[in-house]
Amino acid sequence: MLKTWTDTHYQLDDEDWLYIAPHEDQGSASLVCPGYARDGEGFSIHFTIAHIKTLEKLLGVLRILKAQEEALFDEYKYPEISSNTYLIR
């Protein structure tokens, strides 16, 4: 396997195109973000079944963040004001 001494960080945008490529013969799958959709800066991360717990934790964290965001922004909806309700005649 390829080894590197430099960590790489990719910031995904909400619009980035991602897909899963299964590798049944290897008992694994890859998360693919193709380069042609990211100005030539694509990548692929190869996961095995040994990574399931870590990926489940990642999903859990993202679900918590989503719930917190929804609670923050959806907690109170301001009522719509009709244009004639507050007019003094």
Per-residue pLDDT reduced to its tens digit, 29-58:
999 999 887 788 889 999 999 999 999 999
Global pTM value: 0.67
Instruction: Give me the sign of the Cα torsion angle 53, 55, 60, 61.
Output: positive
> Using only C-alpha atoms, what is the Rg of the chain?
22
Please give the order of strands across the beta sheet that includes 43-48.
19-23, 28-33, 43-48
Domains in the chain: boundaries: 19-74
